[in-house]
Amino acid sequence: MKVTVVGAGAVGASCAEYIAMKDFASEVVLVDIKEGFAEGKAMDLMQTASLNGFDTKITGTTGDYSKTAGSKVAVITSGIPRKPGMTREELIGINAGIVKEVTENLVKHSPDVIIIVVSNPMDTMAYLVHKTSGLPKERIIGMGGALDSARFKYRLAEALEAPISDVDGMVIAAHSDTGMLPLFSKATRNGVPVSEFLSEEKKAYVIEETKVGGATLTKLLGTSAWYAPGAAVSVMVQSILCDQKKMIPCSLMLDGEYGESDICLGVPAIIGKNGVEKIVNITLTEEEKAKFAEAAKAVREVNGDLKF
């Protein structure tokens, strides 16, 4: 099955690489607006095939969407990333126009496509795709929670001085520094609540470092991260193509779930061959419910800046 990745930059190329390395897709088509860039990235990646042992074909195109026709999944990573000190929300002006145009081109050539939205501010960009693509809501999925949960697990393992495979945890709500909600109450070490092991001070550290995880990397790298975002997307694409039905927190259009409607926010969902197979309702504490509602309010304000 064919996967299109729009934007052959840092995240798009990393995502294409992880998908190819896992060898579950027949073809990955990279699309970029910069002349020759996607073709170059595709050629470079293809020259790793014999070294890394994969058969996935990777091709590139400068904006010729006919090459993307018949894609099962399309990932939108096109747009600008943030620079140190910027919030994701500040990217809306440029990225909204790009995401809208890219969505139209994708749907024209692959009407049955499932779209994974990565470009920031991601919850708002996912909302924009819902409002402009005409696709059913099950086929539009925002990537944020998969990455933020991986960062949460990294910080949990660090605080617990445990191997990452020992810990489990999930981040829901908004993909923003303030609106992220790491579900500490449900995080476990081999099934045991992590609160059994961590002091209040360590708990606060884990939560704060998870929320600013992207900003920390942006400061270190001078631009936003790409390895973990690419890997997070590849897990979502694999769950769809291989119908794995993994439960992954994703930014989805809500219709009453978690007390919210007409907004895309991160919630756990079963992801399979049809896209979103089911939104999973988990019980939140009163404090978590209040934080979820606060995140929704902030995302709604950013959505208000969209022009369709």
Q: Which residues are catalytic?
A: 175
Q: CA nearest 80: which of 90, 70, 71?
A: 90
Integer Cα distance of 299 and 264 in angstroms: 8
The residue type of 167 is: V
Q: What is the 3-state secondary structure (H, E, C) of 229-260?
A: HHHHHHHHHHHHHCCCCEEEEEEEEEECHHHC
Nearer to ligand NAI (CB atom), residue 109 or residue 289: 109
For residue 144, the minimal CB distance to ligand NAI (Å) is 5
11 is known to lie in a ligand binding site: yes
* 11 counts as binding ligand NAI under rule CB under 6 A: yes
* 99 counts as binding ligand NAI under rule CB under 6 A: no
Nearer to ligand NAI (CB atom), residue 102 or residue 279: 102
Other beta carbons within 10 angstroms of residue 225's beta carbon come to 20
For residue 214, the minimal CB distance to ligand NAI (Å) is 7
70-89: contacts with ligand NAI (CB under 6 A): 77-82
Contacts of residues 160-168 at CB distance under 8 Å and 24 or more positions apart, as own/partner, are 160/189, 160/194, 160/197, 160/198, 162/189, 166/190, 167/194
* 127 counts as binding ligand NAI under rule CB under 6 A: no
| Contacts with ligand NAI, 205-224, as mask; x by CB under 6 A | ------------------xx
* 150 counts as binding ligand NAI under rule CB under 6 A: no
| Of the residues 2, 16, 19, 32, which one makes contact with ligand NAI according to CB under 6 A | 32
- Classify strands 2-6 and 246-255 as parallel, antiparallel or unpaired: unpaired
For residue 148, the minimal CB distance to ligand NAI (Å) is 7
Q: CA nearest 231: which of 304, 115, 149, 155?
A: 149
* 31 counts as binding ligand NAI under rule CB under 6 A: yes
Strand ordering across the sheet containing 167-168: 167-168, 188-189, 192-193
Chain positions contacting ligand NAI, by CB under 6 A:
6-12, 31-34, 37, 77-82, 91, 95, 98, 101-102, 118-120, 122, 143-144, 147, 175, 223-226, 229
